[in-house]
A and B are shown apart, each in its own frame.
Chain A
Amino acid sequence: MFSNRLFNLLVPLISVLLGFLAGAIIMLIFGYNPIAGYSALISGAFGNSYAIGETVRQITPLMLTGIGIAFAFRTGLFNIGAEGQVLVGWLASVWVGISFDLPAVLHIPLALLAAAVAGALWASVPGILKALRGVHEVVISIMMNYIALHTCNYIIRNYLSNNGDKSEVIAETASLRTTWLYEKMGYSQIHWGFIIAIVAVIAMWFILEKTTTGYELRSVGFNRHAANYAGMNVKKNIIKSMMISGVFAGLAGAMEGLGTFGHMHVHGSFTNLGFDGIAVALLGANTAMGSFFSAILFGSLKMGALRMPTVAGVPSELVEIVIASIIFFIASSYIIRWVLLRLKKEEN
Chain B
Amino acid sequence: MYIVDLLGIIIPIMMFYSAPLIFTALGGVFSERSGVINIGLEGLMVIGAFSSIVFNLAYAETLGALTPWLSILVGTIIGGLFSIMHAVASISFRADQTVSGVAINLMAVGLGVFLTREFYGKGQTDMITQPFYTQSVPFLSDIPIIGDIFFKGIYYTSYIAIVVAIIAWFVIYKTPFGLRLRAVGEHPMAADTNGINVTKIRYIAVILSGILAGMGGAIYAQTITFNFSGSTIVGQGFMSIAAVIFGKWHPIGALGAALFFGFAQSLSVIGGTVPFLANVPNVYLVIAPYVLTILALAGFIGRADAPKANGVPYIKGSR
Residues of A with Cβ closer than 8 Å to B?
A: 26, 30, 78, 80, 125, 129, 133, 135-136, 138-140, 142-144, 146-147, 150-151, 153-154, 158, 268-269, 275, 278-279, 282, 315, 317-321, 323-325, 327-328, 330-335
Contacts and interface: CB of A to CB of B under 8 A. Distances in A.
Interface stretch (B2-10, B63-71, B270-278, B281-289): B281-289
Given A133-B299, A332-B93, 19 more contacts: A136-B306, A139-B245, A143-B293, A146-B238, A147-B291, A151-B283, A154-B281, A275-B102, A318-B110, A318-B114, A319-B110, A320-B110, A323-B110, A324-B110, A331-B99, A331-B100, A331-B103, A332-B89, A334-B94
Contacts of A335: 92-93
A315 B117 CA distance: 7
B90 to A, nearest CB: 8
A75 to B, nearest CB: 15
B283 A334 contact: no
B113 interface: yes
Interface of B: 39, 85, 89, 92-96, 98-100, 102-107, 109-111, 113-114, 117-118, 231, 234-235, 238-239, 241-242, 245, 281-283, 286-287, 290-291, 293-294, 297-299, 306
Nearest to B303: A133
Given A331-B95, A334-B93, A140 B109 contact: no
Contacts, number: 128
A49 B3 CA distance: 66
Contacts of A138: 39, 98
Given A324-B110, A332-B95, A129 B117 contact: no
A265 to B, nearest CB: 15
B54 to A, nearest CB: 15
Main secondary structure of the interface of B (DSSP, over half): helix
B290 A278 contact: no
Contacts of B102: 80, 275, 278-279, 327
Nearest to A136: B306
A334 B111 CA distance: 25
A285 B85 CA distance: 23
A324 B306 contact: no
A334 B88 CA distance: 12
A167 B92 CA distance: 49
Contacts of A268: 231, 234
A128 B226 CA distance: 42
Given A269-B234, A321-B111, A328-B100, A129 B106 contact: no
Contacts of B109: 317, 320
Nearest to B244: A139
Contacts of A328: 85, 89, 95, 100, 103, 107
Q: What are the 9 closest A-B residue pairs judged by CB atoms, nearest first?
A: A320-B110, A324-B107, A324-B106, A331-B95, A332-B93, A154-B283, A315-B117, A317-B114, A328-B103
A275 B298 contact: no
